Structure 1
């Protein structure tokens, strides 16, 4: 049924069609064992947050399974087709969004919550926000002003992450955040310390997005305590969070001071443990190799890796399994430790792990000259430590292995 208020037409939504949680029209109605029907997205979020009760009745659920309510789904579809206007789209109009933006200044938490819920409901909504003039600056302003409140900070980070992934104006957003660097980073630090797992992942992704050039990487790495805080998240054991953190650290750690700071906070041990874990996915292992390759370019990093009982052997184990770029990182780590760092202990560990054979295997693939040269250097160094009687004569990389081309 439609009602007229003033000069505007409103659609009256039957209560039966509204989700008891979101109060919006259900797009995919499902019923719990209690008989109450909810929108699938809303009830799944309720159950995933750890609840074991029916939100409407508060009965303890003997089963968290739900089944589609096909009859109600058909009724809602028929109603949507017959309603005037065609659907009760709760999406704010351009005028509505424009009116909401100034509200950031006097109702920060409430406005962020409303817009975050709007963005979560569909990809179309996120694209609308990404294209809306002034939205990016309003959210950055909100992020800068919400450092003492975790919920607004989480919503601001979520909205920024959503806008970035929907191809907003990336250069403008970077500039806005870096211009308000201290306040924005305070808010992101608060989320990294006290936010939900999802918010932490989104925050690390936003930080990696910001690290697009040497100046921005410098700004991030010089923020007191930020890199150690991000690195400490590797201990949480969450795969998606680990991947985000490793990807960020592999990008941002370009200065010597940043690398030393990471070494001092124990990143080598954390990455080494991840790398040697049997359950570590290939993509995660490759990110581990990238971080180690970056840290290995400083003496402090090489010393930490040499002192770690398992780091070098874990790298050797992953060389042959990694994709080309990650395998190159692994070779660079081993070369840094055995040739540049000259660690006898590491050389012996690598040799015991059939390091010579691994390097020969690596060289069968198409590699750039500098990688082949590192492999040759490694073979020469490892030859002296090798105790398995290979008898390789590689003074000029003269080999009788015909399927490996000499330099």
Structure 2
């Protein structure tokens, strides 16, 4: 049995990345043998593998099937005795020959696939990396890190296998060992390991413990300060963000590093890329939050450096994700008296906070309302009146109607009560509007 298949003209439809056939005329029809097609995707197989049931599939398709939790053969419905995938070299060679025969029709020959890495091979490389680090063999260690990097580039399957078999903890151990010895002497190796961390998260507990050590943190901050190496700066800030997300205790370690506030502030002020800016804001948010629970000294440093002005600049034209994180930092700053004073001194603060309500995302709305609540509560009636003049009253009513979290509802209700008291001072608010739905405070 064969399938007749009519090729659309190149450049129409699809992204072109997964297509094997190119340059075939619109009216040309090819007949593809059924046994060359994957039973799951019905596409021409690029890497045919055979299961224990004897049925051949394209490796990518059957891996997705198994990764989804299925334990049966899609064609026979038999329970698989094992999940071994044996390369079917005969079928692959036949497919390649068929491609060559149809070269004149624009069919490209499918390249011979590389054999995927196995967990055993990853474990072996991991052990060798650890051994090289213990004896201080930087050359051997860099060679192995390069090998891991090349294998990961070959396929997504390789990358998952490498990450899933604990290569991250071995890299973390090596990073700490060579950073402890000398950053300057091993800068290239440390740079390679740092780049590898960007795709090996999440790390296991052992890897996290190595990376959050004072030695490792100082080394990453050292790279973050490297003005002429944007790639390493980006990698360093992204790894620090992942590290903090995995273990909040890392914040304390960062806060103990000299000039960390200035370094992070500079990373936001002179952006490397959107990803690095977002990572920096996440770290700053966590540091301010942790600082408030203690002396508040670091939070005040950020405020006095002009972080509020920087955040407002980001809010003017930042994308959704950046705005969410910037608003989170603003909300954290507004928890401090000096932060509120500095925020209100900037003419853009209240207008931007009101503007972001219902404009970006639910998260951004919650942060905006929380910040406004902190600015307007107390004796700062001018901030409340300004917010009302900018349409905050109407927006807050909509927030109540469409629903939000309990804490946000409480803040909205409190703001509306305060606005009710000031409604006679603002022309844009209808004084006849009722407030019967607002719960009375006990």
Shorter-normalised TM range: 0.5 to 0.7
Determine the C-alpha separation between the residues in 2 that align with 1:380 and 1:225: 44
After superposition, what is the alpha-carbon deviation per residue over 1:224-265, rounded to whole angstroms, capped at 9, x for unaligned?
Answer: 322431232122343222222223333443222342232233
Matches within 5 A, 1:257-336: 257=296, 258-277=298-317, 280-336=318-374
Q: Which segment drifts farther, 126-135 or 372-381?
A: 126-135
| SS of corresponding position for 2:429 | coil
Q: Which of 348, 353, 356 in structure 1 is aligned with 2:390?
A: 353
Matches within 5 A, 1:20-169: 74=108, 77=111, 80=112, 87=114, 93-94=121-122, 95=124, 98-104=127-133, 105-107=136-138, 109-132=142-165, 136-143=169-176, 145-146=178-179, 147-148=183-184, 149-164=186-201, 167-169=202-204
Counterpart position of 2:256? 222
Change (3 A) 1:138 1:307: same
Q: Is the Cα contact below 8 Å between 1:269 and 1:308 reproduced in 2?
A: yes
Q: What's the CA shift for 1:196?
A: 4.4
Residue 431 of structure 2 corresponds to residue 392 of structure 1: yes
- The 2-side partners of 1:216 and 1:191 are apart by 17
Q: Describe the shift of the 1:243–1:363 C-alpha distance in structure 2 as closer, same or farther (beyond 3 A).
A: same
Give yes or no for contact 1:143–1:153 (8 Å, CA) kept in 2.
no
TM-score by length of 1: 0.67
In structure 2, what is the equivalent of residue 209 of structure 1? 242
- Give the corresponding residue for 1:372: 409
For residues 188-226 of structure 1, the C-alpha deviation after alignment (integer angstroms, 9 at most, x for no partner) is 112212274444343223222322455333223333322
Q: Distance in 2 between matches of 1:252 and 1:374?
A: 25
Mark the CA change 1:73 to 1:172 in structure 2 (over 3 Å): closer, same or farther: farther
CA 1:264 to 1:347, structure 2 compared with 1: closer, same or farther past 3 Å?
A: same
Distance 1:73 1:102, change over 3 A: farther
Q: Distance in 2 between matches of 1:323 and 1:208?
A: 22
CA positional deviation for 1:369? 4.2
**Which structure has the larger Rg over C-alpha atoms?**
2
Corresponding residue number in structure 1 for 2:285? 250
Contact 1:130 1:136 in 2 (8 A): no
Q: Is the 8 A contact 1:335 1:374 kept in 2?
A: yes
In 2, Cα distance between equivalents of 1:73 and 1:101: 46
1:286–1:326 contact (8 Å) kept in structure 2: yes
Bigger Cα displacement from structure 2, 325-334 vs 239-248: 239-248
Gaps of 5+ in 2: 1-18, 20-101
In 1, Cα distance between equivalents of 2:167 and 2:362? 43
2:439 and 2:283 map into 1 onto residues whose CA distance is 37
Contact 1:131 1:168 in 2 (8 A): no
Displacement after TM superposition at 1:303 (Å): 1.9
Change (3 A) 1:89 1:364: closer
Query: 2:430 & 2:243 partners in 1: Cα distance?
Result: 51
Q: CA RMSD in A?
A: 3.5
1:89 Cα deviation (Å)?
7.2
Gapped runs of 5+ residues in structure 1? 1-27, 29-69, 81-85
Q: Residues 100-136 of structure 1: CA distance to partner in whole angstroms, max 9, x if unpaired?
A: 4433422255554444344344333333332445751
Shift of 1:319: 0.6
Answer yes or no: is the 8 Å Cα contact 1:335–1:378 preserved in 2.
Answer: yes
Deviation at 1:310, TM superposition (A): 0.8
